[in-house]
Amino acid sequence: MSLANIPDKNLLTEQQVLHRIDKALSEKKPLSLIRIGDGENIVLSQYQFLNEKEFMNTYWAKQSREGMSKGVTLPNVSLRNQMIRALRKADIVGVCKSHNDEMLAPEEFKRKLTNKIFDHHRIKPADLCYVFVNRKMVSHRHFWELLHRYRVLLISKWSWIFKDYVNKNYASLRPRIVGCIDFNDFKEIPAVLKKAGQYPFDIALISAGVNAVVLAPAIAELYGKVALDFGKTMMFFLKGDKRLKPWKPNASQPFRQQSGKPRPRALYSTNNRDSWSFQPKDTPINRSRSTFP
């Protein structure tokens, strides 16, 4: 079935996504979540659905040239190709809604364009959710419990500041942030993938623009971990953006301490920007359930 024929009611809710994440963590299985919004659609459309003049004249590309960091300079066919491969590997893919979508972007760069891209490349993700699942899951206590129960790796240019923010504002949770990796540009992907192997983490939160589409499935596959495209959520927290409605801890109801065991790492190689190879030691991903018939 084409993505265009999948109604919004069939998208996983953020609660269902959190349960999938929790299950993968408790069973020590890899899982990746990526999101396809307007920026990702524009990158994926290079020379296929948009010619060079068209995509270089989009507001997204213009913002990038005007100093609003997007983490990549267009044109970039290498990133486009890596994103297509990542879409085939991801366990859960966030997409815009067909109707009443919240994203403030032109309709031509939202769900209709995603439908065309998925159909063209015959992409059928195991599961689908809403593209803003990253913003909505932080409204649930369950999300913050996961940061308490499992070891967290942050990947973003905002990672160190966000770590301090969480440790200060969610101190009663005793969050287990074990590492921070700075990320600014597409060219850093191989080094970041390699550096992630230096940390004993269970779940990675990745705020790296469109590059998170590549990073999340790669980290899940290389290290057998849970890796989430966290979008702009770190930045929104730090800037007090009203689009977030985060759950706040109650000091009178502290979490019960739980300890996690280190997980085995995979042997990995990052020989070039377009591929990664691995020898997984963890249980393979279960892709038996699919949103697509």
Tokens coding 291: 């949103």
| β-pairing verdict for 152-156 and 203-207 | parallel
Percent of the chain with pLDDT over 90: 81
pTM across the whole model: 0.86
Contact (CB, 8 A) for 47 and 77: yes
Say if residues 117 and 45 touch (Cβ distance below 8 Å): yes
Judge whether 37 and 96 are in contact, CB under 8 Å. yes
Domain extent listing, the chain: 10-279
Is the pLDDT at 262 greater than 80, yes or no?
Answer: no
Residue 171: what are its φ and ψ, rounded to 5°? -60, -35
**pLDDT reported for residue 265:** 35
Task: Write the pLDDT tens digit of every residue in 196-243.
Answer: 999 999 999 999 999 999 999 999 999 999 999 999 999 999 999 999
Average pLDDT of the residues in 155-172: 97
Whose tokens are 């065991």? That residue is 261
Whose tokens are 């779940």? That residue is 203
What's the gap between Cα 93 and its chain centre? 9
Does pLDDT of 111 surpass 70? Answer: yes
- Strand 267-272 vs strand 275-279: parallel, antiparallel, or unpaired? antiparallel
- Report the pLDDT value the prediction gives residue 256, as an integer from 0 to 100: 53
| Confidence band, pLDDT 50/70/90 cuts, at residue 66 | confident
